[in-house]
Structure 1
């Protein structure tokens, strides 16, 4: 059987079993959120000024940005789980728009002398450690769910699984993080989530192979 025929056959099978695979992914994501939330509450704790921070634009913008990335990651996961799934790039429009707005706002309202301190923040090292650790369990859950599907590009599927785990962890870490500057978020959160994306790609190449 030719490769194209095999992919087409797997795609037909995936269509018949799409609901169970979708349910597995949904359950894995729900459990991932529960794991990350538990680590937030039991280990790193929410920031002490959370109620006050929630009334500020920067905190709300940070959390909204990460929330839109979570939504985008869910859509990408469901797409890549199918052998002939096409990635819905449109889901990234809103996160990119929020990011451009947030960075533009910071650059316009902050003195250039403050850019460096706002980018480095106060807890960049803790951020780089915490997000991958909080994402480890979610990555395992998502990978397990994806093994029931038949992604044709295993490294890409693994990368998206790592990205999804990273943004879920990043969302709950954001409730702890006292650095609300988008300059900080786009630097250190991106590095931490990027590490999970690379790890996911490496794992997916082996675990998701068929």
Structure 2
């Protein structure tokens, strides 16, 4: 049997299989792994001391909405690519829209900030720690996603690994937001995005090895 015929057969079988069980497993894996990341955060950094007050600010929800938006795009992408011949489709637009929106907000913030304060606003006090911490908090999610995807039949392994990494980084960034006190949109657009992007890059490198079937 030719490779193309094998993929077509697998794709037909995947179409006949109900989609809800995999979606439920994927959601369960993400939720469970995010809980593990939260426990790591509590043991390592702890919650920000002013969390209750921060919940009433736009800055807190700016970060939360951004990372949640990326998580939704990543979830859709992983669900689509988990099956043979899967394509990104709308997931690419959802993810791109999140990034462009955050980048626009960051750019507007920089334009409104006095020139002498722009560097401090952009770098914050944790620019060198933020991306690394997001990667750390994304590790449990990536391991859980790898476990779930190994039981599926993705055919675009590097891309599947990349979107699994993106979802992992987005959820890791969501968890990290409970400890991070940075408030600048420019900071979030740069350093949060860099952390999520690093997770996607790592996933792209590991995908062909870990997801091979």
- Length-normalised TM-score, structure 1: 0.91
- 102-111 vs 170-179, which moves further: 102-111
Other-structure match for 1:42? 43
Other-structure match for 2:206? 203
Other-structure match for 1:69? 70
Query: Residues 123-145 of structure 1: CA distance to partner in whole angstroms, max 9, x if unpaired?
Result: 12221332111111111110110
Whether 1:170 aligns to 2:173 is yes
Contact 1:75/1:91 (<8 A) preserved: no
Q: 2: distance between equivalents of 1:139 and 1:163?
A: 9
Other-structure match for 2:58? 57
Other-structure match for 2:153? 150
Q: What is the CA-CA distance between 1:101 and the residue it aligns to?
A: 4.4
Aligned partner of residue 124 in structure 1, secondary structure: coil
Gap runs ≥5 in structure 1: none
Aligned partner of residue 129 in structure 2, secondary structure: helix
Query: Residues 81-132 of structure 1: CA distance to partner in whole angstroms, max 9, x if unpaired?
Result: 1112221223235414531442244134311222211111111222133211
Q: 2: distance between equivalents of 1:71 and 1:22?
A: 13
Aligned partner of residue 128 in structure 2, secondary structure: helix
Q: 1: distance between equivalents of 2:6 and 2:29?
A: 27
Q: 2: distance between equivalents of 1:197 and 1:104?
A: 23
Contact 2:99/2:189 (<8 A) preserved: no
RMSD: 1.8
Other-structure match for 1:160? 163
Count of residue pairs brought into register by the alignment: 210
- Length-normalised TM-score, structure 2: 0.90
Gap runs ≥5 in structure 2: none
Other-structure match for 1:194? 197
Contact 1:37/1:172 (<8 A) preserved: yes
Other-structure match for 2:86? 85
Contact 2:106/2:185 (<8 A) preserved: yes
Q: 2: distance between equivalents of 1:80 and 1:180?
A: 34
Other-structure match for 2:15? 15
